[in-house]
A and B are shown apart, each in its own frame.
Chain A
Amino acid sequence: MIPELGHYALVLALFVALVQSGVPLVGAATGNAAWMGIARPAAIAQMLLVLVAYGALTWAHVVSDFSVSNVVANSHSMKPMLYKVSGVWGNHEGSMMLWIVMLTVFGAAVGIFGRNLPPSLKARVISVQGMIGVGFLLFILITSNPFLRVVPAPLDGNDLNPLLQDPGLAFHPPFLYAGYVGFSVAFSFAVAALIEGRVDPAWARWVRPWTLAAWSTLTAGIALGSWWAYYELGWGGWWYWDPVENASFMPWLAGTALLHSAIVVEKRDALKTWTILLAIITFSLSLMGTFLVRSGILTSVHAFAVDPARGVFILVLLAIATGGSLLLYSVRAPSLKTGGLFAPVSREGSLVLNNLLLSTATATVFIGTLYPLFLDVLDLGKVSVGPPFFNATFIPVAIPMVIAMVVGPFLAWKRADLLGALTRLWTAGVATVACVAIAAYVTNGGGPLLALVGIALAAWAFFGSIAEFAERIRLFRIPVKDSWNRAVNLPRSAWGMTIAHACMGIAIAGMTGTSAWQSETIKAMKPGDTATVGAYSVHFDRVGTVQGPNYSAEQGVFTVTRGGNHIATLTPQRRSYPVTRMTTTEAAIHTTWLSDVYVALGDPTQNGTAWTVRLYHHPLVPWIWIGSLGMMLGGLVSLSDRRFRVGAPERRRAAKGTLQPAE
């Protein structure tokens, strides 16, 4: 009964979405306040109905209702409760349900929090959100209905792919989707602005918090996915330039560009058409990511099922959303008035540079990801594009981006003095040189030269961001107490920027450290053997068996020592899941926060007395995730800025003069 209720709610949600996408739009066009007023209750009703449907599906998973085919295919009565809940989105149908939940939550949030929006803009934004909802609800109901029954109901289910039974991955999809779908709000605002034919600083101020929220959660989602790949796949890598990873990375890059160009619209009323275009591109890339991952044309853990109908459906949705909005853009964008002027060397100029580099980076990732698919479709051969390509194209673009990232905030709006900015950065320059010297000394010149470039960039980003903050609070130039007061009174967005930029430096240090200086030992080890990795020696004590709730595992016990001192006892496992007949490798990791010692227990040799053991020493690797979390935190701090909440979002007619005291 409950699954039918969910199904029914989903169908109702579709009808509400249809009303939501049509009525407010007509209302806004004709100036009918009552029709525009439909937007908010419709968005809320749609969210509630979708939540009911999602709740019904979760219920079926939690009570293991094996008359529902989705539960049969992806659950098992012995599965731990956490994975019964996360298993709802650990499959194609359920993940699309999560997608639509996010979409409607964002839509309703615009309705609830957008009190200060002009009614016509608000109606149009919510209406566009409704259209996206219609597309995806149709997609679920036609091609991916999670509420289908099986008769007769089997006694037990097929279990969830064991690789997905992991706490890190349990929370990866909600964050990632909140990010993907969060960009739909920026998209809806862009389309609504094109329909209205008007973009002004107030518009940018309304768009920024949504973009910030989406960007922050997407950052967390990508970081969680990377962390999972690191410890779960047993290979010790954190990023593979896999098409599925790229699918999430492209919206992130474009979203980062959008975040920055919206600042220019807000402060200087310039770059308006470009910002609109970016908003469209960012969400289109999110949709494309959904298409790539969900259509099954990519080989990955995310490709749950290969069903051409689904791929075609999402492709059509993508074509309508992207094609339609770009068409609207080409008609309306030229009529948008261009705003403030600025010299190439200025804050605006630096943000333009940031945007150019980020777009170029997005384009290189895009080409590398889609080129093989393109060749395959045209039957021109099967190729793959791997990490060497991305390293060769992405890194050269990223380097100037990071250098400029530090200099940009020192530049004044409109026209700036580059030399002056650089002289104010001398402390950061000294700190950078010092860091490179330390790195070269510690590693004794080991590793590629590019590693030192990486460390230099990381230090530059970190210390440069701190220096900018110190400059703002006039540290050491006025009494410390006054500096403190200044810091407390700085807008949260300034804090957010400093945190995000500095943490980017931390993340770069982590990426560089582990890529350049990791050491790896692969060895067949018997209990009693000792191997060395980096400065550590690892002793293989014994192997035992451990019984989990729905798996049994071989567990190795390893003692890690350094110079005779006991460091840690590690217990990596090889789990076998009888239901799916799959084996997973659970690596054991000891972290010192400066580096990780990583042990993975591989398969036993033929006579069963020895095991293939992988040992890694990953310098600085935890910093990747510390840095990513810090970037997310920066986004959230910036999001809490009061100008996004209080009074600010009222459209000021005499905006130009009051916006920014010029220089």
Chain B
Amino acid sequence: MTRKKRRLYMLGLALLGLGAATALTLTAFEDNIVFFFSPTQLQTQDIGDRNFRLGGLVEEGSVSKMPDGVTTRFRVTDTVHTVAVSYRGQLPDLFREGQGVITEGRMINGVFQAREVLAKHDENYMPPEVAAALKEAEHFKANSKEQKPSS
């Protein structure tokens, strides 16, 4: 086998691997990327039956346990809009009213059915997505105030 031929083999193999990996990655991206939305963004966007992440603050006084003892209902707010969430399972240790939260799941009949409520490890920590969503909501509020100074 000549050096040239060997190189060709190697290159072919490498390209094959690269091609396969690209194809795999692209298909996986199509199906498995999870978008993040805030309650306000949900008002304007039609998501359909798709897995996504919803983040914001757990609204004060909204958390209630269902009679089965393991399903929790609460509302997620970005101070402008709120979304009702239902979650079956054990909540993370730092889940609290008034704290930032990220949940993953789907909208079913207007209620966000969370498959997962993400654990936060530090009580002072605000997930960056939530912080951004809250900031945007603030902005939104300020703008609407400008438009309607009477309210």
Contacts and interface: CB of A to CB of B under 8 A. Distances in A.
A301 B31 contact: no
Contact of B28 (A233, A343, A357, A392): A392
Nearest to A375: B33
Interface string A587-629: 0000000000000101101100010101000000000000000
Contacts of A559: none
A610 B6 CA distance: 69
Contacts of B21: 360, 363-364, 393, 397
B123 A581 contact: yes
Contact of B69 (A233, A392, A523): A523
Given A352-B10, A384-B53, A612-B70, A367 B25 contact: yes
Given A299-B128, A352-B13, A523-B70, A384 B36 contact: yes
Given A341-B3, A386-B32, A392-B28, A603 B68 contact: no
B101 to A, nearest CB: 12
B114 to A, nearest CB: 14
B61 to A, nearest CB: 13
A385 B93 contact: no
Interface string A466-485: 00000000000000000000
A606 B70 CA distance: 11
Interface string B41-67: 000000000000100000000001100
B148 interface: no
A356 B13 contact: yes
Interface in A371-406: 371, 381-386, 388-389, 392-393, 396-397
Given A356-B17, A360-B18, A393-B24, A382 B129 contact: yes
With a 10 A CB-CB cut-off, give which of A522, A523, A614 has the most chain B CB atoms.
A522
Interface in A562-584: 580-584
Interface in B1-43: 1, 3, 6, 9-10, 13-14, 17-18, 20-21, 24-25, 27-29, 31-36
A522 B90 contact: yes
Interface string B107-128: 0000000000011111101011
A338 B3 CA distance: 10
Is the interface on chain B under 10, 10 to 19, 20 to 34, or 35 or more residues? Answer: 35 or more
A84 to B, nearest CB: 20
B132 interface: yes
B68 A382 contact: no
Given A342-B6, A386-B34, A522 B88 contact: yes
B89 interface: yes
A381 B35 contact: yes
Nearest to A397: B21
Contacts of B18: 360
A385 B31 contact: no
B69 A524 contact: yes
A610 B69 CA distance: 8
A234 interface: yes
B90 A580 contact: no
A580 B124 CA distance: 10
Contacts of A600: 90
A580 B28 contact: no
B28 A388 contact: yes
B123 A341 contact: no
Interface residues of A, number: 55
Interface in A137-173: 161, 163
Contacts of B84: none
Secondary structure at the A interface, as helix, strand, loop or mixed, is mixed
Contacts of B80: none
Nearest to A163: B121
A51 to B, nearest CB: 31
A595 B70 CA distance: 26
A223 interface: no
A176 to B, nearest CB: 17
A524 B132 contact: no
A238 to B, nearest CB: 15
Contacts of B28: 388-389, 392-393
Contacts of A344: 6, 9, 13
A360 B89 contact: no
A290 to B, nearest CB: 19
A303 B3 CA distance: 50
B25 A393 contact: yes
A603 B132 CA distance: 30
A537 interface: no
Contacts of A301: 121-122
A341 B128 contact: no
A393 B88 CA distance: 29
A96 interface: no
A333 interface: no
A54 B147 CA distance: 59
Interface string A361-372: 001100110010
A335 interface: no
B6 A341 contact: yes
Nearest to B1: A343
Interface of A: 161, 163, 233-235, 297, 299-301, 303, 338, 341-344, 352-353, 356-357, 359-360, 363-364, 367-368, 371, 381-386, 388-389, 392-393, 396-397, 522-524, 580-585, 600, 602-603, 605-606, 610, 612, 614
Instruction: Kindly list the 10 A-B residue pairs having the minimum CB-CB distance in the complex, ordered from nearest.
Output: A524-B69, A382-B36, A392-B28, A301-B121, A389-B32, A388-B32, A602-B90, A360-B21, A583-B93, A356-B17
Given A359-B17, A381-B36, 4 more contacts: A357-B17, A364-B21, A368-B25, A382-B35
8 contacts: A352-B10, A360-B20, A364-B24, A364-B25, A382-B36, A582-B93, A584-B93, A612-B70
